[in-house]
Amino acid sequence: MKRESLAAYGFLFPALILLSIFVVFPIGLGSLLSLFRYNAVSQPHFVGIGNFKEIFSDPVARTALFNSILYLIVVPVLQLGSILLALLLNREMKGIRIFRMLFYIPVVTSIVVVALAWKWLLAENGLLNGVLLSIHLIRNPIHWLTDPSIALYSVMLVTLWKGLGYYMVIYLAGLQGIDPQYEEAAKLDGASSLQIFRRITIPLLKPTIAFCTMISCIAALKVFAEIYVMTEGGPLYSTTTAVYDIFDLFMNQLRLGYASSLGVILAVVIGLLSYLNYRFFKQGGFEAY
């Protein structure tokens, strides 16, 4: 038994070393750095929880945290759209694999390429405004990325478009893992397609929904590339998220300790949200649905 345990630890050891170097050590260093005022030039100055107090009085940091939480709006839309798309493609018909491949292409496309393409599409003189003007749906171009009231939602659209195919594949695997006998039995009992979806498909997909919801919430709170490429946090900080603010504080302003404290707060928010998501699905989730 000891020999088997030693062999197991031997195989785990390289992965544990890498995990310690690239995950555990940065987390510990960042948490420690959050207690100091440090600019990478002068000596670190211990301020305790001073950085955290400053965050809650800093309008930019508060806006960034609010925008990150607001970005979670994309999660239910993304999950519902992915489930419906998976249901649509979970059938045997001619050419279905081509459709699946087409929906998955955005997933394997670089996020930088995707963001640049959408930045062009959503520009004031871009393709989307051109089409809407040509069919007389709008009279003046819409400022998708320069209007503070809609810029963040425009970026959300890109996240939604890119993520649909990824979660669709996961839900498709979950649907194909459901025994078709359940649906056949329900049809024999006279259940409609909507009743089968509500009472059989959704409950049996609950583990998949829990997993996809959790990772999509984490991804939404950590969104960065779309913001960096499309808006750089503007206009008027309307698209500045917590991760983008951390990047700006760390790389441009050299406020390393302050950036670390914002990162700690974001980590706590992600941990709390993950816990609530876990408790929700553990205690029943969609059973009331």
Least confident piece of the model among 97-101, 102-106, 133-137, 164-168: 97-101
- Split at pLDDT 50, 70, 90, the class of 190 is confident
pLDDT at 289: 42
89-115 as b/e: b if 16+ CB within 10 A? bbeeeeeeeeebeebeebeeeebeebb
pLDDT at 154 over 60: yes
Q: Is the pLDDT of residue 115 over 80?
A: yes
CA distance linking residue 17 with residue 13, whole number of Å? 6
Query: Which domains are present in the chain?
Result: 51-288 (1.10.3720.10)
Per-residue pLDDT for 143 more than 90?
A: yes
pLDDT beyond 90 at 40: no
What is the pLDDT averaged over residues 54-71? 94
The pLDDT, as a whole number, for residue 288 is 41
Q: What is the mean pLDDT of residues 107-131?
A: 93
- The stretch 172-200 carries a mean pLDDT of 85
* Contact call for residues 219 and 3 (beta carbons, < 8 A): no
Give me the mean pLDDT over the 159-188 stretch: 89
* pLDDT beyond 60 at 13: yes
The alpha helices in the chain, defined as continuous H runs, are: 2-19, 25-33, 50-55, 59-70, 74-89, 96-108, 111-121, 127-134, 151-176, 180-188, 193-196, 202-204, 206-221, 225-230, 242-247, 256-282
Which is higher by pLDDT, 153 or 89? Answer: 153
Lowest mean pLDDT among 147-151, 182-186, 215-219, 258-262: 182-186
Query: Which tens digit of pLDDT belongs to each residue from 197-212?
Result: 888 888 889 989 999 9
Q: How confident is the model at residue 144 (pLDDT cuts 50, 70, 90)?
A: very high
